[in-house]
Amino acid sequence: MLKKLWSKIAEFFTVVGSAIWEFIQAAIPPTTEMALEQVQELAVAIVAEISNTNLSDEEKRKLAFDKIKEILETKKSDMKDGIVNLAIELAVQWLKQRKK
């Protein structure tokens, strides 16, 4: 009987967990996309400005990150670090494609 109970509990959490995961997957991309739209133009401008310096790639990334976060803080924006990092990477890739 205990084995059957645990089986039912496991089945319940599998179904509920699956539903929650589907909800999260559906909710996160639009939120991320909206956040990226807010910061992408800024990221492209800053990455383009920094790209011709003699800094290493890591130093450029850190400088771009710090500048973007500083500007966002003056605008009272609570942009997550992951979104800023993603915006920087997308800006780098976009600028590389334009140079080809």
- Per-run averaged pLDDT (10 residues), the chain, 100 residues: 55 58 60 78 94 95 96 89 90 84
Question: How far is it, in rounded angstroms, from Cα 55 to Cα 53?
Answer: 5
Is 79 in contact with 38 (CB distance < 8 Å)?
yes
Q: What would you report as the CA-atom Rg of the chain, rounded to the nearest whole angstrom? A: 21
Q: What is the pLDDT of residue 6?
A: 55
Q: What is the pTM of this model?
A: 0.68
Q: What is the pLDDT of residue 90?
A: 87
Is 79 in contact with 35 (CB distance < 8 Å)?
yes
- Residue 91: how many CB atoms within 10 A of its CB? 24
